[in-house]
A and B are shown apart, each in its own frame.
Chain A
Amino acid sequence: MSDLPRRDPRLEWIARNRLHPRHEEVLVALGQGAASEWPGPNGLVRKNPHRVGFIGPHGVKRIDRSGTQQGAMGGKASTPVADRKPLIEIAEPAFLVAVVPDMAGGRLSGHDKDLLGLARRLADADPAAQGAVVAVIFGPHKETRFGEAGIDRLLHLDSPEVTGYAPEARLGALVMAEQAWAPRHWLLPDSKLGGGELGRRLAARLDERPATGIWQLEADAEAATGWQCTARGAAGSLDIRRPLPRIALALAECAEPVSETRHTAAELALPQPLPSTLSRIQDLGQVSVDPASVALSEAEFILSAGNGVKDWQGFHHAAELLGATEGASRVAVDDGFMARDRQVGATGTWVTARVYVAVGISGAIQHLQGIQTCDKVVAINMDPGCDMIKRADLAVIGDSTQILEALVTLVTQAREEKRDAA
C-alpha cells in the first residue's frame, strides 16, 4: 500500500451534509469530531452555530472564542508542556555552580528546586559567560525531571559508602569534586534533612566562611563575588547583609524555581574512584518510632478518619498495622470518636505529611486547607463527587470498612510471606 493520502469524496460529502443520517459517525471517522466550521462545496465557509462551544461542568453550554477549544475538539493530541520548553545546552561553561540537593524521599523537594533556581540566577547572570549548574546526588533516587529543575550536569554517586547516613564519606566526595572542578559557588539547602550539616562540614573542611540562612540575593558590583546576600542570624532575629561567599546555605523560597527552560542534566563522573575512608560514625539504622507519639504536624504518613467511618475498631487497627499516625476531620472529633489534638484542618493542625489517606472525609474547605502541603493524598469515599476526590491523587470509591479490611488483609499476607521467606 502506498502512503499517499486517499480521499473519499463520498465521505467528505456526508461530512459536509449535516442533514445526512450518517453525518455524525463520518465526522468521527474523519477525525473532525463535531465540527462547527467546514469549507462548503463552493468554497464558502459553512458554520453550525449549534456545535459551537462545549457543555461546562454545571451542564451549561459555554462558548470559548479563543479557538483553543475548537482545536481540542479536533482530536489532535496536544504536545505536553515539558516538550515545549526550550532546551538549553551549555557545552563550554565559563564556570560551575555546584548544588547538593537534599533529595528527601528520593525526589527533588521544593527547597531543592528553589535552591536550583538560585543556582541558575548565579550561573545565568552574565549571558556572555554562562555558567553550568552541577548537582551532586547521593544514593538511589526516583527523580526523573532533573533537566526541568535547571540542572546542566548531574554527578550521581551511588556507591554503598555514600548511601544512608555517611557524612564523612559524602564530605570526601564533595572535596574530590572541589579538587576536580573547583566550582565558583557551592550551594546547599540550610535544612535539617542533611544539607545544613553537610554544608557546614564542607565549609569547615575547605576553610571557607559560609553564609548560612540566606534568603535574598542581589547583584552588587562592589562585592568580591559580584553578589550581596541577606541572611538570617541569631536564631532568625537578625538580618545580615554581606557579600556572598563561595559556600552558601540557603533557606527555602530563596529564589523562584526554574519553570521556563529545560536543561540537559548530562551525566558526569568523578575522575577517580572515591577513596575508602574509615568512618568513625557508624549508621546502625533507623529506629522504629511509635507513630502515635509523633506530633500530627510533622507526621510523615497519616490515616485520617471522617464521618464516613463506621467501624472505629477496624480503623484504629488499620492505623496500627500500617504504622500510620491517626488524624481526624472535625466531624469525627465533634462526635467524640477522636481526640481534639488529632483534628486536621484550618481549625486543627496543619499537617505536612508525605502521604495522607482520607477515609470517609468529603473534604470541607477548612480540611483541604490543612492538607495543602501533603504530597500524595489517597481518598476512600462513597461519594464520587466530593471535593476530597478532586484533590486526591488516588481515589477509591467504595465502602471504607471493607476497603480498610482488605488493606489490612493484604498487608498481613505480605508480612507473613516475607517472614516465611526469611
Chain B
Amino acid sequence: MQPESAMTPGLDVTVLVSVGRHPLTGRVRRADQDARGVELARSLANAEVRLLHAGERNESSDAALRGYLGMGFSELALLEQPEGADVLPALAEALDATSPHLVITGERAERGEGSGLLPYLLAERLGWPLVSSLAAVESVENGVATLLQALPRGQRRRLSVRLPAIVTVDDAAPAPRQSAYGPARRGTLEASMGPVSNDEEWAKWQVQPARPRPKRLKIVKATSARDRFKAAAAKSDGGGGQVLTDVTPTQGAEAILTLLREENVLQ
C-alpha cells in the first residue's frame, strides 16, 4: 500500500500523545496536534510506531487515550503521574530507555499550562536536535531524515536532520484519520509508574478561564483639538501613495515590477 522507497528497515518512532480538550464543549478528546503526529507516524513506510503518554489516569482520560488506539494500534504505554505533576522526568527516562530514532509530539498541550516547552526541554535533556512545525517527512536514509517544515503563509522549507531527533507537528500536518471504535475498545493501556516530580510553581499561579482580550483602541496623539478632530473625521489611509498617470503600459509595469522586487515576492 505504501511506497517502499529508501526507508531504513525498522525505523523506531515514538509519538508522545496527550489528553486534549474540545475548544467548544470542553470535553476531553484526543488532542488534535498529537493525533496529527500519530497520522504522520502512520504514513512513514517501514516504521515501528509506539504511543507514549504520561499523566493522570482516570476514566475520562482513558476514553480520550483510546481515541489514539482507534487509529490502528494495539497498545499504548502509559506513565501514571499524579495530578499537576511535571511529566518531563518520566518522559525523559522512558525515552532514554527505549531510545527511538524519531520522537513526534504536538506543538503544545490543550490542557494545563500549554506552554509548548516540553519538546524543547526533552531535546535539551536528551541532547537531540529539534525541528518544529513539521508538515511531512520526505525520507529517512542512513540516519538522516529529510523533513518538510511548515512556515506561515502556506510556505514550506526543506530541512535535513541527523537522527535521533524530536519533531513537533502543528496544524499544517495531514489531518488525522477517524478513530475506529472496535480497535479503540480492544487496545490495551500498558500502565506503569514513572518518576514523579511535582510542579510547585503551577500550584501557586492564579488560573481562570480566558476572558476575551480588549480590542485595541485607535489612540490619536495630537496636541490640539483640531488635530484630534481631523484624525477622527479623516478617511483612513487616504493619500500617501504614488499615482502614475499618463504613462505607457511598459512604464507602469516597470514601476510595479520594481515594487514587487523590493518586497521580494517574485521567485
Contacts and interface: CB of A to CB of B under 8 A. Distances in A.
Question: Is chain B a partner of chain A in the same complex?
Answer: yes
A242 B205 contact: yes
Contacts of A393: 240-242, 259
Interface size class of A (residues with CB under 8 A): 35 or more
Nearest to B250: A406
B157 interface: yes
Contacts of A192: 133, 151-152, 170
Interface in A181-197: 192-193, 196-197
Contact of B210 (A232, A299, A414): A232
A411 interface: yes
Interface string B43-68: 00000000000000000000000000
Interface stretch (B77-85, B92-100, B213-221): B213-221
Main secondary structure on chain B at its contact with chain A? mixed
Contact of B205 (A168, A237, A240): A240
Given A197-B132, A235-B110, A394-B259, A289 B154 contact: yes
B257 interface: yes
Interface string B150-180: 0111111111111001000010000000000
Contacts of B148: 287
B213 A410 contact: no
Contact of B221 (A215, A235, A260, A295): A260
Contact of A402 (B26, B111, B249): B249
B237 A391 contact: yes
B116 interface: yes
A235 B21 contact: yes
B239 A390 contact: yes
Nearest to B165: A280
Interface stretch (B5-13, B121-129, B186-194): B121-129
Contact of B111 (A66, A106, A234, A394): A234
Contact of B244 (A212, A236, A397): A397
A203 interface: yes
Contact of A240 (B123, B133, B206, B244): B206
Contacts of B201: 209, 242
Interface size class of B (residues with CB under 8 A): 35 or more
Contacts of B159: 165, 281-284
Given A200-B120, A212-B115, A234 B109 contact: yes
Interface in A230-269: 232-242, 253, 256, 259-260
B116 A293 contact: no
A347 to B, nearest CB: 19
Contact of B256 (A299, A354, A391, A396): A396
B36 interface: no
A33 interface: no
B237 A193 contact: no
A238 B208 contact: yes
Contacts of B233: none
B161 A280 contact: yes
Contacts of B161: 280-282
B131 A281 contact: yes
Interface in B81-119: 108-117
B4 interface: no
Nearest to A64: B226
B244 A406 contact: no
A177 interface: no
A39 to B, nearest CB: 26
Nearest to A384: B245
Contacts of A78: none
A395 B244 contact: yes
B241 A390 contact: yes
Contacts of A355: 259-260, 263, 265
B120 A234 contact: no
A200 B267 contact: no
B152 A193 contact: yes
A285 interface: yes
Interface in A400-422: 402-407, 409-411, 414
A300 B265 contact: yes
B1 interface: no
Contact of A322 (B204, B224, B237, B260): B260
B123 to A, nearest CB: 7
Contacts of B255: 394, 396
Nearest to B216: A253
A380 interface: yes
B23 interface: yes
B238 A390 contact: yes
A411 B152 CA distance: 26
Contact of B116 (A212, A354, A375): A212
B132 to A, nearest CB: 5
Given A298-B154, A394-B242, A394-B256, 13 more contacts: A106-B264, A234-B113, A238-B114, A241-B205, A242-B201, A242-B206, A287-B155, A287-B157, A323-B265, A394-B244, A397-B243, A402-B249, A407-B257
Interface of B: 21, 23, 26, 108-117, 120-121, 123-124, 129-133, 146, 148-149, 151-162, 165, 170, 201, 204-211, 213, 216, 219, 221, 224, 226, 235, 237-247, 249-250, 252-257, 259-260, 263-267
30 contacts: A66-B224, A192-B151, A204-B120, A204-B124, A212-B117, A233-B112, A233-B114, A233-B207, A235-B23, A237-B23, A237-B26, A239-B210, A240-B206, A284-B160, A298-B153, A298-B154, A354-B263, A355-B263, A375-B263, A390-B238, A390-B239, A391-B241, A395-B241, A397-B247, A402-B249, A403-B249, A403-B253, A404-B253, A410-B257, A414-B257
